[in-house]
Structure 1
């Protein structure tokens, strides 16, 4: 990759440019589930790094995991948008997540591998899809629990 730092910065900044289009109430409402899943992703990243599930070639800094721009950019903001449009309709939520995750896994990952940004090493694409599905259900469950139990 020719300009990895610029690519990573754009990956962080561009999704955040959509935040002004969110209603403040929606952003706050879905923040707990998104933060929970972002923290979960950090733990997952430490496991993935040790087990070499994937390799990031382009990093912001050598000591920062390559997945961080994906977590604080597209994942974080994308999760809020998906929850905004589908929360309360679990089947719709699941279908939208399958479409978005499938797009990422089967179309974007090959392109990111081609440009030498990331590649799957010990994880197959179908395994990544299953991992995404598990995380989607976990995030929805946490958001549901938070709204119905914690915020009472």
Structure 2
């Protein structure tokens, strides 16, 4: 089995294994914002094609596999966990997101490229960090809006 296939499977399976530890109330409360965050990443991934921000060996189908396993795995579940632990403390939320975004933008991005999961072309690690950080602000506002309207 190729390393890229193993990474994709790990992206999908490992985060979902942790969900048994997340309280059902948190899953229900934060699943909407996690879906919204996934949609934002899907838009970014779609824009990556015409703007040639990154490429994936194997064409559009392999890119779709990469995108979906990342969005449905670590991004969706990670968003649930981050909101579970930090919602209500914006400073803590921003700090945790900054750390996670830095880890993804630099060491994980480097490893993913070394394992040929993708190759950045017109996108740099700083762009990953900035996009995901801006998404953090957007989705926190989205969750705040939802939370206030559901009280």
Q: What is the correspondence of 1:95-106 to structure 2 with a 5 Å cutoff?
A: 95-106=95-106
Distance 1:122-1:63 versus aligned 2 partners, 3 A rule: closer
Work out the CA distance in 2 between the residues paired with 1:67 and 1:57: 13
**1:84 aligned onto 2:84:** yes
Give 1:123's aligned residue.
123
Would the aligned equivalents of 2:56 and 2:63 in 1 still touch at CA under 8 Å? no
Q: Does 1:51 align with 2:51?
A: yes
Distance in 1 (CA, whole Å) between partners of 2:4 and 2:112 is: 12
**Cα distance between partner residues in 2 of 1:61 and 1:124:** 23
CA gap 1:59/1:141 in 2 versus in 1, 3 angstroms: farther
Match of 1:146 in 2: 146
Equivalent-residue separation in structure 2 for 1:11 and 1:58 (angstroms):
18
Which residue number corresponds to residue 69 of structure 1?
Answer: 69
Unaligned runs of 5+ in 1: none
Q: 1:4 Cα shift?
A: 2.7
The farther-off stretch of 10-19 and 54-63 is: 54-63
Task: Encode CA deviations 1:54-94: one digit per residue, 9 max, x unaligned.
Answer: 12337894483521111000000001000000000001100
Match of 1:41 in 2: 41
Moved over 2 A (4+): 1-7, 56-66
Does structure 2 conserve the Cα–Cα contact (< 8 Å) formed by 1:94 and 1:136? Answer: yes
What residue ranges of structure 2 are gaps of 5+ in the alignment? none
> 1:30 is matched with which residue?
30
| Offset of residue 2 of structure 1 | 2.5
Question: How many residues were matched structurally?
Answer: 151
3-state SS of paired residue (2:66): coil
Give the distance between the partners of 1:17 and 1:132, measured in 2 at CA: 24
For the pair 1:19 / 2:19, whether they are aligned, the reply is yes
**Residues 63 and 103 (structure 1 numbering): CA distance in 2 closer, same or farther, change over 3 Å?**
closer
